[in-house]
Structures are given as structure tokens and as C-alpha cells.
Structure 1
Amino acid sequence: MGVSKQAIASEFMGTALLLATVVGSGIMGERLAGGNVAVALLANTLATGAALIALIATFGPRSGAHFNPLVTLTEAALKRLAWATAGVYLLAQVLGAIAGVVAAHYMFELPLLMESTHTRTGPHQWWSETVASFGLLTVILNVAKTRPDFVPVAVGSYITAAYWFTASTSFANPAVTVARSLTDTFSGIRPADAPGFILAQIAGAGLAVAFFTWLEADTPEQHKHV
């Protein structure tokens, strides 16, 4: 059976609303913070974490609420999702992310798309994205197995924390990275820097899958009984 239109629409709309939140709260935070970058980042962080909880709870029953190519590729690699479905999800996520940037720009009377000039590159930034992505996928895979109803809160909480403990502010999402290269605002990243982030994110996700697989293979028998 093919993927439903409702699932595709959920991935598109969920990712669009996520990016509208990330970019819009970054713009609002920067405008209201009076030059205080920490306050602007805090506003950006809290809005993003809160939106993730709401959006995953909203769209989870319809599409799984991936909103992230790393999650989709992981599900396909673990044979929980058909590769054909994964391809459609990836397209919906990237297009949704770009639509979210356009929506945020229009709300704040900015050009609909702008090439970012925010430099985010170098080994420390790439390592930050590897760590951020590894942590995100580790949280998702393990919480989804043991407490699926808690996934929205777990993901929102992790991203809220990772904004602050990673030097890159935890993009941890290739679709988000592509879209944020199209906004020259607080949350932007230069297009030239995006490929390094994306490769680091994929590496982190791969490590998370390997770690999860190892944990599953070594699960004690007593942990399998209720």
C-alpha cells in the first residue's frame, strides 16, 4: 500500500510550521532583545521546543511526525518504512521547510527568500552537529520503544537543551539546514556551510542507529518481560 495523501500533507505542514517557528521566533527574539544575543537565543529556543511538542503530538498519529530526513532515513534503514515512502517524506519535508521560511518572512515583512550570510562552519561546528544528531536520534529511537506517548515531550525537551549545549545551536535536521540557508535572519546559515552540517548530521544519525542496534542486541532477557 502506498503512502497516504494525509501522511504526506502532515509531513509537509508539520515541517512548515516548525520552520515558521524557528525563523519567526528568531526574528522576533532578535528585534525585541535589544542586542542581547542570549535573550534572543532563549526566545528562539523556548518557541522551538514548545512547537515541537505540539506538532509531534498533532501529526504523530498521521505520519509519525518525522519532520526530519534523519528520522525518515533511520526508519527506512531499520526496515520500519518503505524506501519509496521515505523518498516522498523527504520531498515533503524539504518543501515544507522552505514554505515555513517563506511564511515567516512574509509575517515580518521581509523578502520571501534571502541567501543567508551567517557563517557556521569548521570542525567544532561539524562535531556539534554530529553530537546533536546522535543525541536526537538516540532519544527518539529509545523513547519511541519504551514510552511512545512521551516522544513529543522528549524531543522538544532535548532540542531545547541542545540549543544551549552545542556550539552549532543544534540544527540536527538536513531539511531545516537547507531552509535556514534561505533566511538572512537570526537563525540563518550560509548556503556554502550547509553541506558540512548535513554530512555531520548524517554521521551522527548513523552512529545513533548503530548504538541503538547494539543496545537492542544486548537487552537482558528480564527486561523483555512485563
Structure 2
Amino acid sequence: MNRLYHFPLSPFSRKVRLSLAEKRIEVELIEERYWEQDNDFLRRNPAGQIPVLRLGNKLMSESAAICEYLEEVQPSPPLMPRDADGRFEVRRLVGWFDDKFHVECTQKLLGERVFRKVMGTGYPDSTNVKAGSKAMRFHLDYMAHLLEKRRWLAGNELSLADFAAAAQLSCLDYISDVDWNRSEVVKDWYAKIKSRPAFRSLLADQVSGFRPPSHYANLDF
């Protein structure tokens, strides 16, 4: 049995879930409260991080490494370009969203509004929330800049870069922290990716104590 140990509002888990679903690799989803540092989970990944993918007899961690592994063992449909320049651009943008966007936006907004309550670490820090909202405007403008010249973020074909970005944004959309009116081209991009069959399980996610807005699962938002 293939299994993915994940948390519903983990963008890194979501990126792997999107890759698995796009490649039609079926997995059982096991929700993991990774911050509790359960001994069984630490045996799967001593780093104590999610996602962790059990694929056959293999246990794999680190979302970027997992996604590239999936690309190598299941190359169709492709999520990486064939040419070196194209692969570089995808990896650059995956790094942008996994690192810069996550630190500047997701950690500050989702971390304060959701994970502080879920983990029992206190109340939201308004300074972080304001900083995250300000950074979000910059990132949405950067995405608009890319999408004005390309059909998808890294080029004219859907790629892992789009899934990395959508994974982060979908978590923030769950708590209504994305201003979709800021850019029509970004909103259109998200509508396209949100309509893909691979996205369906994300739209069904529920986190106890937090109800998503009505537009979250609406394909015509």
C-alpha cells in the first residue's frame, strides 16, 4: 500500500499530492500531526518533517526530492521540461515558492492564523500577519509579470513550478488570505489549475476548527 503522511494545510504535502494525482499514482493519505514528534513518525523521518511518502518498500522525505523522483519513475505526464534551460526555470521557481514565498507569506499568514492555534503556541502576531499580507502583494505581482509572457509560470506547459505555487496559494486561500482581484491573469491561472482533476482532493480538505470560505471549492470563483 502506497501511503503519504501529510497534513492538509502543509503546502509541501500538497505539492506532492498534486504530483501524485497528476501522474495517477494512488496513495492512502495519513494525516500526521508532525509537531507532536511521535516516535513512529520519527522512525519514518528522523527530521520530523512532512511529507513522507511510502512507495512500495521505499520511504521518502523532502518534497522537492520526492517530486523529482516521481518524475523519473513516472515521466508521463511530464512535469519537467526536456531541455536544460526549461528544467532550470522550473527548479528556480520551485525554489522561489518553497523558500521565499513560504517564508515571507505562508509562514506569516497561515502560521499565525492557523498553526498557532492548532499547535497551541499562543495568539497570532499581528506584525507577522501585516508583513505576510504586504509580501503577498509583491508575490502576486511577480506571478502576474511571469504570466503576462507565458501560459504557465515556467513556460507554455504545466510544470512542477505551477504545483509548487498552487500548493502555497491554496493553503492561504483556505483562510481567505489571497486577494484574487489584484491580478486577473493570476486569478485565471489559478482557475485553470484548480479545475484539474489532480486538485479535487485538496478542495475536499477540512481542518478542524477552521472552515474554508465558500469560494474555496468553487471552480468558478
Q: TM-score, normalized by length of structure 2?
A: 0.31
> Which has more strand, going by share of residues?
2
Q: TM-score, normalized by length of structure 1?
A: 0.30
> Which has more helix, going by share of residues?
1
Query: Could you say which structure has the greater relative contact order, defined with CA pairs below 8 angstroms and 6 or more residues apart?
Result: 1
